Every structure is written in structure tokens, then in C-alpha cells.
Structure 1
Amino acid sequence: MKLISENKIDALGRVTLPAQIRHKLGMDKGDSVDIFEDNGYMIIKKHNNSCVFCGHSKNLIEYNHKHICSNCLDNLKK
């Protein structure tokens, strides 16, 4: 793991993500991130939408802010 920058937490608990990393990951204003805690480390990962039933990330349809793949949608219709 490589240290990119050291940032301070502001009064509202926010941290700015370095532009270098945002650009490298193709992130833009309004994109979501996933935040994990693992053995004392905070891990911030670019969020990728996936099916709520099977976890696949292709052929997704959004319904009520949830994502469902076409396979699972077909199974639900049966």
C-alpha cells in the first residue's frame, strides 16, 4: 500500500479525496464510495453497482434504488 496524501478531517467529519486518485479511478462529483473497516484500517473503495440477489454487475436494471440483473429479474417473473 502506498501513501498518497495526509488529509485532515474537517468539523463535519469529511475528508477530501485527492484529485489524482479520483481521476485515476474515473470518479466524478456525486459518485458513491464504499467504506470498510478492517483490523483498524479504513478502506475506501469506488462503489460498483451489483445485483441485490446474486452480486453480478452486468445487465442491471434499477428499481426503487436497488439493482437487479436481467437473470434474476427473469427468475422473479416465474
Structure 2
Amino acid sequence: MRPAGVVRKVDQLGRIVLPKSLRKRYKMNEGDPVEIFVSGDHILLERYRPRCVFCGALDVVDYRDKYICKGCLGEMTQFHV
């Protein structure tokens, strides 16, 4: 992981501002969801990408307000009675 060379302070509500250059580089717009991960002493921010609720795959479709990959959806319909 490379440091971006930018330092920001956390405000009283726990917010930080991502520099415009980073938002532009990573195609992040106002209102975009961001996922927060913790790895050891590091806090990682990543653009949210829906994953399959069963296997975690990224190539998903919206099925009844749940994200499911085509493989798992095929397995579900195979056993549907």
C-alpha cells in the first residue's frame, strides 16, 4: 500500500475529507457508498461493490432485494419446487 502523501484531520463528528484528486482518480462521487475494512492497524476505504450473499462473488444480479451471483441463482432455481 502506497501512501498518498496527504494528511487530513478527523473532525469532531469523525469525518475526513478525501482530496478531490483522489476522488477523481478513483471515480468517487458525492453520495457513492464506501465500504470500511480494518486490517491490523490500518483502516481501508474502498468503493462499495455488492457481493453475492452466499459466496461473495462480485458479478451479481439483484434478486428480490438481495445480490446473488448467477452461479448461486442457478443452484437456487435448480432446487426450487
Q: TM-score, normalised by structure 1?
A: 0.79
Aligned residue in 2 for 1:52: 53
Q: Between Structure 1 and Structure 2, whose CA radius of gyration is higher?
A: 2
CA 1:49 to 1:4, structure 2 compared with 1: closer, same or farther past 3 Å? farther
14-23 or 37-46, larger mean C-alpha shift: 37-46
Aligned residue in 1 for 2:34: 33
Q: Using the TM superposition, give the Cα deviation of residue 15 of structure 1 relative to its aligned residue in structure 2, in angstroms.
A: 0.8
Kindly provide the CA deviation profile for residues 15-71 of structure 1, in whole angstroms up to 9, marking residues without a partner as x.
11111111111111121212122221211122222111122222422533x311122
Q: TM-score, normalised by structure 2?
A: 0.76
- Structure 1 runs of 4+ aligned residues shifted over 3 Å read none
- 1:1-78 pair list within 5 angstroms: 1-64=2-65, 66-77=66-77, 78=79
How many residue pairs align between the two structures? 77
SS in 1 for 2:75: helix
| C-alpha distance in structure 2 between counterparts of 1:9 and 1:16, whole Å | 8
Identity %: 31
C-alpha contact 2:52 2:60 (8 A) present in aligned 1: no
| C-alpha distance in structure 2 between counterparts of 1:12 and 1:45, whole Å | 20
